[in-house]
Amino acid sequence: MKRIAIAAAVSLLTAACNRGILDPVGPVGAQEKQILINSTAIMLAIIIPTMIATVAFVWWFRRGNTKATYRPDWEYSGAIEMVVWAIPALTILLLGGITWIASHDLDPAKPIKSNVPALKVEVVSLDWKWLFIYPDQGIATVNQLVVPAGTPVEFRLTSATVMNSFFVPQLGSQIYAMGGMTTHLNLLADNIGEYPGFSANFSGDGFPEMRFVVKAVPAGDFDAWLAKTRDSGAHLRWRRCAQGTDPGDPHRPLRDGRDPDHD
C-alpha cells in the first residue's frame, strides 16, 4: 500500500512538471516563464527580508529581553524612512521596466523571426468550440489544431458569438477573440507533441468544455495530414457549426477538406 501511495505521489509530481506555463515549448512561452521567474525573484527580495525582520523584531523586543531598549517617546527615524520608501520604489521601477520591455518584445502581433515561412491560421470562437481555418491550404478543423513543429504560426482571431480568450499555456500569450474585430497572435512550437488549449474567458454554459488540442508534428507528417484531410470527404456547414449543431459533441474534433461553406 505504501509503495502504491509513493508511486501515485511521484506520478502526480511528474505530471505537474510537464504542464502549463512552467513547461514552455516555444520561444514566446519560454520568455514569459523567464519574466514570471524574474518578477517573483524581485518580489521575494522584499518579502523574505520583511518576514525575517518581523520575526527578529518580535524576538528582540520580547518581554524577557533585558537588553532591548524601551523607547515610548520614539516616533521618527530618517534611516528607516529611507529604507521603507526606497526599496518599494526600486521594486516598482524594476517590475515596471521588465513589464515595459516585455510588452514590446512579446507583442502578440509581432512576427516571430524564422527562416521558415509562417503558417496562417484563422481562429473563430463559437458556442462552445473553436473553428480553425487554414486559408492557404483550403481546409478547416474544429477543436483540433495541427501545426508543423518549428514553424511560426500566424493567427487571426475573431468570434462568431460572445467574447472569448484563446490560450495555449505551453505556447504562451493569451489573447481575446471578439465579434466584429480581429486580433493577431504569433506563436511557435519548438517540440513535437500535443498541447492543451482552452478558453480563458467565461462565455456561457458550455465554457468549461471549450477546449482543444494543439498537435505539433514534423513537417512531413503535417503535409500528410493535409492530404488526408482534403481526401476525407468531410465538410463543415458554417451555419450549423455557428449555431452549435455541428458537431453535437464539443469535445469531438472534426476536419473539413475545404473551407467552411456558408450554407
Q: What is the DSSP string of 158-227?
A: EESSS-EEEE-TTT---EEE-TT--EEEEE---S-EEEEEEE-S--STTGGG-EEEEEEE-HHHHHHHHH
> What are the structural domains of the chain?
2-105 (1.10.287), 119-256 (2.60.40.420)
The model's confidence at residue 204, banded by pLDDT at 50, 70 and 90, is: confident
The model's confidence at residue 15, banded by pLDDT at 50, 70 and 90, is: very low
Question: Which segment of 16-20, 27-31, 124-128, 158-162 scores lowest on mean pLDDT?
Answer: 16-20
C-alpha cell at 48: 523574505
Cβ partners under 8 Å of residue 117, min gap 6: 151
Task: Calculate what percentage of the chain has a pLDDT beyond 70.
Answer: 81
C-alpha cell at 37: 521567474
Cβ partners under 8 Å of residue 18, min gap 6: none
The model's confidence at residue 245, banded by pLDDT at 50, 70 and 90, is: very low
Tell me what the mean pLDDT of segment 153-176 comes to. 93
- Residue type, position 208, single letter: P
